Structure 1
Amino acid sequence: MGFKFVDLFAGIGGFHAALGAMGGECVYASEIDKDAARIYQRNWGLKPDGDITLAANEDVMEVPPHDVLVGGFPCQPFSKSGKQMGMDETRGTLFWNIARIIEVHAPSIVLLENVRNIAGPRHIHEWEVIIQTLRQLGYRVSKEPMVVSPHLIRPEFGGRPQVRERVFIAATRIPSGKKDHNSNPEIPDLSAVKMNWDPQKWNLNKDLPLEKLTTIRSKMDVALVDTEIKWLEAWNEFVEIMRIELNGDKLPGFPIWADDWVHTTKLSIPYGTPAWKENFLRKNADLYTKHKKVLDAWLKKWNHLEDFPPSRRKLEWQAQNAKNLWETVLHFRPSGIRAKRATYLPALVAITQTSIIAKQKRRITIREAARLQGLPDWFDFVDQSQSLTYKQLGNGVNVGAVYNVLKAQVFRDLDLLGKSKLTDAILSAPSNPDFVLGNHVDYHRVAEAIKFKNDVEIPPLRLVN
């Protein structure tokens, strides 16, 4: 192996997939969720430790030495009571445990991942503390957030048709005795893997690809139920009616709220209504007033949507020039039914609001969801429930994003890292992690029907040399 890494807050192993494809050996993993830890062990052959706060603190250090530390860490609020910045202020948070590991083992590379909002206006203080802590520990790290989404990465570099903006923090250790004149470096450069790529070129059938469901059971697992199809049939008729009414003009891009359709002369907006909501209420009233005759007929046919849940009486049309609803990708959201072009999918989330392939009247399958995260087809979820698997995938990190960020980090910081087994392994790795994860696997293991229980040791899937 070219280098050793530790995988903190590991989930089911997205970081492991990326670094393993580069020739890394995982010497330690932590994951407090027992179900995710089982899946991690099943696929990677390493049983994750549980509570990181017990394994890495002021008195205990069970994490072994390593070259690279990675993790999708939880962001807990840091105290704002004083002006103290750095490690002292992170105490009581899980980030402090990461910092403690870094302080003891001084890995050459630290790569952390978090949700987009960690670098947003509500978390300015937390962001400053994280960056300052890493710098105090002797690392080069940019104060600018590195936001990466797999749908912006070309497919030949491991990109995926999924909008999934995540912030990466790429920190590289400054060797002892070396002065780093690059006190505020640029974020790692991903321009090469994004060059001339238009995300509208994604094709789900080609680039995911969509599964061909051949059994009744596989179809039933993801098929829409009759009530869901009824909601979509009603809104599809709305789309087709408005296509005729608007005579070639674009369908409204603002949220369509059927419950708030009133004639503009009867529109009454309560005092204190937020400006954004007032704007949408006025636009819905204008739409209804201009097309009252056909919209009244539509409402009457569908019994004024009275048997539809409130969130299904709303439509968010983001599918541009799609001819009808069945040509789109759909998402049942609390804010309404969202329709988008069938190019790339919305982010997987840690709940069962999975994307819907409208043409096939079904949700995406577990295997398709795993592909969106860059996990290979041999990745095994054994016999756990679908809802739990969707949750784990929604909580995961995208393999291609990690793979390309780490490569870019090494390129940026070669002046610090120098030539070594670590840099050689990462820079000489294939341009696409799929070349390793998809082609060098003992596939016969996947078909085994093995019960995965807490008290049973399951042998790992084996990579073929």
Structure 2
Amino acid sequence: MKNFYSLAETADLLTVSKETLRRWDDTGKLKSTRLPNNYRVYTPESLKQYVQGKSIFELEVMDENHYIPIKPYSVLELFAGAGGMALGLEKAGMKCQLLNELDKTACKTLKTNRPDWNVVEGDVAKVCFKNYFGKIDVVTGGFPCQAFSYAGKKLGLEDARGTLFYEFARAVKETQPLMCVGENVKGLVTHDDGKTLKGMIEILSDLGYDVLEPQVLKSAYFKVPQKRERLFLIGIRRNSGIQFNYPKPMQEMMTLTDALKAGILYATDVPESPGQRYPARKKEIMDMVPPGGYWRDLPEDVQKEYMLKSYYLGGGKTGMARRISWDEPCLTLTTSPAQKQTERCHPDETRPFTVKEYARIQTFPDDWQFMGSMNQIYKQIGNAVPVNLAHAVGKEVVKALNQFMIQQELRAKFSA
């Protein structure tokens, strides 16, 4: 049974309008419990006389109010990059208290777009987080997957020293957030035969966090026009009672059309911007590839010219000489749009995607300015967490924290 129902849920349960409920509340007919921001909730006990049967309380009524923060939840982010994760969490209504990033140009990007963000540039190992103890709700970070050796039967925090996961875990230890959210490449699942991921889970467990089953989310099902897959590692402070559910995927995938044309994701077609160009001979070769095609669509003699020794090695190599089609999600973006192994060619024009097209495929807003040289900008965008994927995860974090805060408030009110 649920511990509480929102105003909209209660209206659905009682088949009345929200305005009626507000009037009943004001007249004392059916009193709500008021929480921060004047948020109204109803306990099952308060509703018993108005419904028939206990089973109605088992209903899960979806309500967008669940995703509106009832307080400004605070985030501390490591390895922030150009801001994909931070921007997605901001869209979910969360507040970044500190962002750490080593790359200077990525820091310039963050500071240019969000002058009010506390961007700490430099080596994360030299940053102390103890001043944030008890002040952070969520620690996030996209740490690289570096293996660490087992020492004895169980892996401890000290055994991970020298890795960037150690710094992530140290931030968790020093701040004691309600939740921590790690994200990584799908390959972390099998890295070092799964030992690396197992070790990370053990370390967070030793720090007092229950780690949910890690889950790989496919970006294309979360309003991202790209086939990028990211692994999420969610830790919840033990005995807090917080319940987190991974976001549910949409039924339809976003496509390149959604990224570059006016429609679901953007109000206008993609604005013009600079981008890389192909050398003359490569352009002649790529001109022969149809939308959705790749090197096997070339004449055999051109295949051999382009692929060289790779032609004889077998395997699909579907990223080589690849032209994306309008009606499919883009292949996962890399730090360069024109590397031979990971070609990303525009469907109509024979050229790599421009920086604005790259940014849209990662669902950055058009007004997000990237600092640095063109190559540095491609690198920042290619390394980013898709904004809409981070937003989807962030909404579920907000929902989980809302439920936790409401339960805490109810306990305080009814135990007084």
TM-score range, shorter chain: 0.5 to 0.7
Residue 245 (structure 2) pairs with residue 146 (structure 1): no
- Residue number in structure 2 paired with 1:337: 321
Q: Give the 5 Å matches for 1:371-450.
A: 371-382=360-371, 384-411=372-399, 416=404, 418=406
- The residue aligned with 2:280 is 226
Superposed CA offset, 1:393-416 (max 9, x none)? 111111111121132345467665
Which of 76, 91, 94 is 1:21 aligned to? 91
Partner of 2:251: 196
Partners of 2:224 and 2:389 within 8 A in 1: no
Backbone CA RMSD of aligned residues:
3.7
Q: Tell whether the 8 Å contact from 1:173 to 1:416 is kept in structure 2 after alignment.
A: no
Q: What 5-or-longer segments of structure 1 have no aligned partner?
A: 154-158, 240-250, 259-297, 319-332, 422-465
Relative contact order (C-alpha < 8 Å, sep 6+): which is higher?
1
SS of the aligned residue for 1:394 comes to helix
2:186 is matched with which residue?
116
Matches within 5 A, 1:88-167: 88-120=158-190, 122-142=192-212, 144-153=213-222, 159-167=223-231
Secondary structure of 2:121's aligned partner? coil
In 2, distance between residues paired with 1:235 and 1:373?
24
Identical residues among aligned pairs (%): 25
CA–CA separation in structure 2 for the residues paired with 1:19 and 1:305: 45
Unaligned runs of 5+ in 2: 1-70, 410-416
Q: Which of 124, 148, 160 matches 1:52?
A: 124
Any idea what SS the aligned residue of 1:358 has? coil
Deviations 1:30-52 (A, max 9, x none): 11111211111111223323111
Contact 1:111 1:169 in 2 (8 A): yes
Cα distance in 2 for partners of 1:121, 1:77 equals: 8
Letter matched to residue 147 of structure 1: V
The Cα offsets for residues 74-127 of structure 1, whole Å up to 9 and x where unpaired, read as 222111353222323223322222222222221112111111111125351111
User: What CA deviation, in whole Å up to 9, does each residue of 1:292-338 have, x standing for no partner?
Assistant: xxxxxx66xx6x66764627969x999xxxxxxxxxxxxxx797323
Give 3-state SS (helix, strand or coil) of 1:408's partner. helix
Do the aligned partners of residues 196 and 84 (structure 1) sit closer, same or farther apart at CA in structure 2, a change above 3 Å counting? closer
Inter-CA distance 369–95: structure 2 relative to 1 (3 Å threshold): same
- TM-score relative to the length of structure 2: 0.67
Q: Contact between 1:15 and 1:397, CA under 8 Å: does it hold in 2? A: yes
Q: 1:337 to 1:23 in 2, by over 3 A?
A: same
1:74 correspondence with 2:133: no
> Judging changes above 3 Å, is the alpha-carbon distance between structure 1 residues 212 and 23 closer, same or farther for their aligned structure 2 residues?
closer
Number of equivalences: 327
Give the 3 Å change call, closer, same or farther, for CA 363–420 of structure 1 in structure 2: farther
Match of 2:101, SS state, is: coil
- Deviations, residues 370-421 of structure 1 (Å, cap 9, x unaligned): 1222211111124x21111111111111111112113234546766554579
Is structure 2 residue 83 aligned with structure 1 residue 85? no
Inter-partner Cα distance in structure 2 for 1:128 and 1:312: 36
Alignment of 1:207-218 (within 5 A): 211=270, 213=272, 218=273
Normalized against structure 1, the TM-score is what? 0.61
Q: C-alpha separation between the residues in 1 aligned to 2:362 and 2:157? A: 33
- Asked whether the equivalents of residues 152 and 199 of structure 1 are also in contact (C-alpha less than 8 Å), the reply is yes
Aligned equivalents of 1:51, 1:420: Cα separation in 2 = 37
CA distance in 1, matches of 2:399, 2:150: 36
Q: Which deviates further from its counterpart, 333-342 or 24-33?
A: 333-342
Alpha-carbon distance change, 306 to 167 in structure 1, aligned in 2, over 3 angstroms: closer
Residue 63 of structure 1 deviates from its aligned partner by 5.2
Tell me: CA distance 1:80–1:2, structure 2 relative to 1, closer, same or farther (3 Å).
Answer: same
Could you tell me how far apart the structure 2 residues matched to 1:101 and 1:347 are?
30
SS at match of 1:404: helix
- Matched AA of 1:336: M
Distance 1:225 1:255 in 2: 17
Amino acid at match of 1:379: W
